[in-house]
Structure 1
Amino acid sequence: MIRVLLADDHPVVRTGYRRLLEQAGDVQVVAEASDGDAAYAAFIAAPPDVLVTDLSMPGGGGMELIRRVLLRAAAARVLVFSMHDSPLLVRRALEAGARGFLTKASAPDGLVVAIRALHAGQRYLGPELPAALLQPREPQPETERLATLSAREFEIFKLLAQGHSSAECAQVLRLSPKTVANHQTLIKEKLGVVTSAALAHLALRHRVIDAAGA
């Protein structure tokens, strides 16, 4: 039996995944978590065979969860199951230590296939993603990373660098908190930073903000 820890911040989505996986016959969801911190605690309490995680979650998010888990257990098998399919984001997840990446647009049985592959010691990419993403690449300069931000992402990046919270960004830009959280995940991955402090330092280096945060 393949023991799975499922991390996603939507209870209804987790319930659907659990039912799908347990119908497979050889997969058991042994724990669930709604945020990165809870998922990490569950992993430490009872390490699963495979950790399946979304990226856009409270508590540090899925990318930070991957890094924490891999620091704790280098052989951990982590599968990202996300609505995001940006090649840059997929690369970041794989470089952080994930062994597989599947988008939520995949066929329902794709999740079972991916979990079985990771459990067997293989790496896995969803069929909708280019296989070349599994190949190593040269580090991308910060200026090029900044250029990958969309206009909306750049607005949010600047506000975050100035010290605004996600909730404040949502209020200023008249967006939903979930939309800002999704953008924040993408921004950090595009820029190759993990913490808010690193994001602010990058903004200062490239004069997106000044020392006073303006």
Structure 2
Amino acid sequence: MIETATYGATRARVEDYFDRTATRTWERLTSDAPVSRIRQTVREGRDRMRAIMLSRLPEDLAGARVLDAGCGAGQMTAELAARGADVVAVDISPQLVDIARARLPQDVAHRVSFASGDMLSPDLGRFDFVVAMDSLIYYAEGDLASALNGLAARTEAAVVFTVAPRTPFLMAFWGLGKLFPRADRSPVMIPHSAPKLAARVAGLHPVARVSRGFYISQCLEVRR
């Protein structure tokens, strides 16, 4: 667990956003309900990114313990459990955890343990794999590197995660608010350079980038 002032402040903003402002927005975005054209590009981009991240893990995860760090509404959690993994699904938002739990297919529910709180807590134990999709995108480089090093130290195989890449488009929006309407804006995501992160996190390398309309994200991994 990171105990810096910047990490704590960012975590508090993220918690406030998802639990008090945008729960219903994200519930709809992660469902099959109709959404605006902008949000449809985000939905399609996230679907593509989730598939890329899952491709970095074995098809058969029977016996593997996997942390879904920032599980949100539980799409990744369900797919990991369907592959046979024992999943610890953690999100800072209790409301999103409730949605994920309600959506989880009953035939895999016995493989999933849900919790709300800090996804970096060492009390969660050790894992074979960690996946963190769009849950680390709000943190500054120092806090992000500390988070990854802490997770990697408790992971046997790989930590697969996403960041906002340092593209001209994202840099233009950095600090100017989000791409959703004002009422739905999240804390400002911080674009990162993969080479700069790699200099601070051993074993880190880029995997793939997804750019679909208003969704732009970079998948990276830390291999043990």
Q: TM-score, normalised by structure 1?
A: 0.34
Which structure shows the bigger proportion of residues in strand conformation?
Answer: 2
Rg: which structure is higher? 1
TM-score normalised by L of structure 2: 0.33
Structure of higher RCO (CA pairs closer than 8 Å, 6+ residues apart): 2
